[in-house]
Structure 1
């Protein structure tokens, strides 16, 4: 059985950026992505905005699997997006099974509010 360190040699990206596009794509995420690239960090960003009714693509889920880190930008409407939550489930799965490191960034939200919402989601 391969451990997380041996599988990291096969990783395509340093970081996967998970975010709610309408909240952060053209401001915070654009600046973060540019900064990571300038520092030589190979980050994956989903350039396609998903439309209502579309499913998260397998290539997006593969990008999550093939990243050493996931940076999750939690914004005001993050948890109201089914796609963001599907990405988050995959990220947490990779944290458990592949040793992927996860870095949450709270963008214009209070971390306490996110914790409360997480508790209510786990009850459903």
Structure 2
């Protein structure tokens, strides 16, 4: 993205033009209205444009996302307090979280990140009808935890 461009508009355009979207659900994901709007756009494009959507549950259980439990429940309660329990925006976010968390994906919980990244790269490669991509053993900036 070039300097001076509107981040939000460029992000929405990038989502619309993408073939694959990876949603990484983390503990604090639902506390961000920005992230909730992004995932809503991703799910909209999945339905309208056949966008391939791959969720990753990073140190969070899929059921927490699906049933608004734990940090997701607390975040949604804050959004309801801010916008109103019956607001269109909050209802849309809740439905989006349910829909996205019902997709088949990966649950990452204290595993080696490199292994997960390789699995995701291979899945994307297969989804795009290509042969598996080679992922180097020495990825830059990727360190086991």
How high is the TM-score relative to the length of structure 1?
0.50
Q: Which runs of 5+ in 1 are unaligned?
A: 1-45, 47-54
Residue 62 in structure 1 maps to residue 5 in structure 2 = no
Aligned partners of 1:56, 1:89: CA distance in 2, in Å? 17
Aligned residues: 69
Deviation of 1:57 (Å): 1.1
Q: Which runs of 5+ in 2 are unaligned?
A: 77-93, 96-145
Residue 93 in structure 1 maps to residue 44 in structure 2 = yes
Aligned partners of 2:49, 2:7: CA distance in 1, in Å? 21
| Equivalent position of 2:24 in the other structure | 73
The answer to which structure, 1 or 2, has the higher relative contact order (CA under 8 A, 6+ apart) is 1
Deviation of 1:56 (Å): 5.9
- Please tell me whether the aligned partners of residues 72 and 105 of structure 1 are also in contact (alpha carbons under 8 angstroms): yes
Aligned partners of 2:7, 2:38: CA distance in 1, in Å? 8
Computing the radius of gyration from Cα coordinates, the structure with the larger value is 2
Deviation of 1:65 (Å): 0.5
Q: Point out 4+ residue stretches in structure 1 off by more than 2 angstroms.
A: 118-122
- Please tell me whether the aligned partners of residues 56 and 83 of structure 1 are also in contact (alpha carbons under 8 angstroms): no
Structure 1 vs Structure 2 CA RMSD: 2.4
